[in-house]
Amino acid sequence: MAAKSSLNPWQLHCARRTVLAGGVIAYPTEAVWGLGCDPWNQDAVERILELKQRPMEKGMILVAASVEQVRFLLDPLPRVLQWEAEQHWPGPITCLVPDVLVQIPDWVRGRHSTIAVRVSDHPVVRDLCEATGMPLVSTSCNPAGRQPARNIWQVRRYFGNQLDRIVPGALGGNRKPSRIIDIVTGKQFR
């Protein structure tokens, strides 16, 4: 069982309000600090891409609180692929899931026909996704070519007042970012 969130109700309310208003947040994840936003808000996603100096074509990860939050992506798939993804969640494994009905905007998916999805067991990530009622964009909190932030002072050093909110909390116990597995081929990318 995952640890209890360190967020108090006011912090969670403010983070929720920020995301729903199209803001960009930084928050702790399983291994590194992440940048996140509403994946259906193109302006917010483009702000993250600009902050990171990351090309849109690479695509981004979606992180969710539960399998039910990403059920809309799994339901069109054969049951064996649904099962394959669900075997890795919740936890620090990102699955490349075919977006067969093209439900995720290309500004999140990039040039890919799959979408990278993780159902997290990190309490702050879960609370953020539950509070907003949706999966969130999750990408490492760092400009391209720099090491991902592992503490709040690095977040501030990288992005200062360019973020709309820094959500407090502790990182999970992982030392490396999540593994990425293609559920169709079984190939591991990271």
Which pLDDT tens digit goes with each residue over 137-151?
Answer: 999 999 999 999 999
Tell whether 188 is covered by a domain.
no
Contact 139, 34 (CB under 8 A): yes
187 in a domain, yes or no?
no
Q: Is residue 102 part of a domain?
A: yes
Q: How many domains does the chain have?
A: 1
| For residues 51-67, average pLDDT | 97
What residues make up the domain containing 159?
9-182
Residue 160 domain-assigned (yes or no) = yes
pTM for the complete prediction?
0.93
C-alpha span between 129 and 54 (Å, rounded): 23
Predicted confidence (pLDDT) per residue in 107-129, tens digit: 999 999 999 999 999 999 999 99
Query: Cα separation of 122 and 172, whole Å?
Result: 6
- What DSSP designation does 21 have? T
Per-residue pLDDT band for 3 (boundaries 50, 70, 90) equals low
Looking at the domain assignment, is residue 1 inside a domain?
no
pLDDT at 4: 63
CATH code where residue 14 lies? 3.90.870.10
3-state helix, strand, coil in the chain (%, to 5): 35, 20, 45
pLDDT above 70 covers what percent of the chain?
A: 97
Q: Is 2 among the domain residues?
A: no
Kindly report, residue by residue over 20-40, the tens digit of the pLDDT: 999 999 999 999 999 999 999
**How does residue 177 score in pLDDT terms, banded at 50, 70 and 90?**
confident
Asked if 92 contacts 118 with a C-beta cutoff of 8 angstroms, the reply is yes
> Do 16 and 132 touch, CB atoms closer than 8 A?
yes
In a domain, 190, yes or no: no
Quote the CA–CA distance of 184 and 36 in Å, as a whole number: 27
DSSP-derived secondary structure for 124-155: HHHHHHHHHTS-EEEEESS-TTSPPP-SHHHH
Instruction: Judge whether 156 lies within some domain.
Output: yes
Task: Identify the residue whose tokens are 């990271």.
Answer: 190
